[in-house]
């Protein structure tokens, strides 16, 4: 572990607030100086925007440049993505203008799987506190600038927790789901590392085998850890946003208004409207309407 620094210059598509507060991650916290500190594997990073550049200070086991390029997906051209999505309609142009600094993170698959099982019927402050308690109990302690941080527990570390142990951490009904999923991964029933190389339909079918993983959670896992930009996570909030912005187009697609719109209708509409960038479009639209 050593102190490292990385600078991103002339950044147009990198706004820490947009990245860390759009609902895709749970281990980043805002500091008093408006920077954000988070844990990536066995690395602690502090990210701060300074005029036209981003300063990233780290206490790292790995090379900070490699960490940042992979985790923040720096080799993906978001200016090109925004141009393409912005040409679709005024809603996307406005949402991109509002959340212009959003980037979809390339997070660890194991951590994302467990985190989004915990996220079911939950709010972000509570999700973050549960994950923090779990990390304190089963992860590895690190100290940087006099403050303690904890890695997200590995598969082996979390497999030592019983259902009762997880219940004590405040997981509620999710305790059995996290326990069973951990045991399935540990026993090799599903190789989550190899999943990223498969197509999204195959991955969806595999992820749905885990307790507590429904279509929305599976899509979040694929979008936020596997770079499957074509998936479109739908929950009650996304459905509300889509009906607010696109109800006329959705009903036109359905050809009648007699029945209630369901998630499959919205998914079909999003696939046709946004194409292979549907997941990124969802992030811009959701963040824009939620913040408004």
For residue 193, give every residue at least 6 positions away whose Cβ sits within 8 Å of its Cβ, in sequence order, or none. 109
- Domains of the chain by range and CATH? 2-74 (3.30.310.260), 109-225 (1.10.340.30)
Q: Are 213 and 117 in contact (CB under 8 A)?
A: yes
Q: Are 247 and 54 in contact (CB under 8 A)?
A: no
Q: Are 213 and 129 in contact (CB under 8 A)?
A: no
- Can you spell out the DSSP letters for 199-231? -HHHHHHHHTTSTT--HHHHHHHHHHHS--TT-
Which pLDDT value is given to residue 167? 96
Query: Tens of pLDDT along the chain (292 residues)?
Result: 999 999 999 788 999 999 999 999 999 999 999 999 999 999 999 999 998 899 999 999 999 999 999 999 999 999 999 999 999 999 999 999 999 999 999 999 999 999 999 999 899 999 999 999 999 999 999 999 999 999 999 999 999 999 999 999 999 999 999 999 999 999 999 999 999 999 999 999 999 999 999 999 999 999 999 999 999 999 999 999 999 999 999 988 887 666 789 999 999 999 999 999 999 999 999 999 988 7
Which pLDDT value is given to residue 257? 66
Tokens of residue 257, six digits: 């208004």
Helix (H) or strand (E) holding 2: strand 2-9
Q: Are 169 and 139 in contact (CB under 8 A)?
A: no
Cα-only R_g, the chain: 19
- In the chain the first and final C-alpha atoms are separated, in Å, by 41
* 190 CB burial (10 A radius; 0-12, 13-18, 19+): middle
> How far apart, in whole angstroms, are the C-alpha atoms of residue 113 and residue 29?
20
Tell if the pTM clears 0.75, that is, is over it.
yes
Which pLDDT value is given to residue 10? 79
Tokens of residue 282, six digits: 């969802």
Which pLDDT value is given to residue 258? 67
């Amino acid at each position: 572990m050593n102190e490292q620094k990385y600078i991103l210059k002339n950044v147009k598509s990198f706004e820490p607030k947009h990245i860390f507060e759009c609902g895709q991650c749970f281990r980043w916290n805002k500091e008093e100086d408006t920077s954000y500190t988070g844990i990536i594997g066995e690395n602690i990073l502090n990210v701060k925007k300074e005029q036209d550049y981003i300063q990233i200070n780290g206490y790292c086991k790995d090379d900070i440049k490699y960490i940042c390029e992979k985790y923040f997906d720096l080799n993906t051209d978001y200016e090109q993505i925004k141009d393409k999505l912005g040409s679709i309609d005024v809603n996307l142009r406005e949402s991109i203008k509002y959340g212009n600094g959003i980037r979809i993170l390339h997070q660890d698959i194991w951590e994302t799987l467990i985190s989004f099982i915990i996220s079911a019927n939950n709010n972000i402050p509570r999700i973050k506190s549960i994950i923090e308690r779990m990390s304190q109990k089963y992860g590895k302690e690190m100290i940087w600038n006099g403050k303690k941080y904890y890695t997200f527990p590995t598969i082996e570390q979390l497999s030592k927790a019983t259902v009762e142990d997880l219940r004590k951490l405040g997981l509620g009904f999710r305790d059995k789901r996290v326990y069973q999923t951990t045991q399935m991964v540990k026993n090799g029933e599903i190789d989550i590392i190899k999943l990223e190389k498969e197509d999204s339909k195959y991955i969806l079918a595999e992820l749905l085998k885990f307790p507590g993983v429904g279509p929305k959670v599976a899509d979040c896992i694929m979008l936020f850890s596997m770079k499957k930009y074509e998936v479109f996570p739908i929950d009650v909030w996304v459905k509300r946003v889509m009906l607010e912005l696109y109800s006329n187009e959705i009903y036109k697609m359905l050809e009648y208004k007699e029945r209630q719109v369901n998630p499959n209708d919205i998914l079909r509409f999003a696939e046709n409207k946004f194409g292979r960038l549907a997941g990124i479009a969802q992030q811009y639209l959701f963040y824009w309407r939620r913040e408004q």
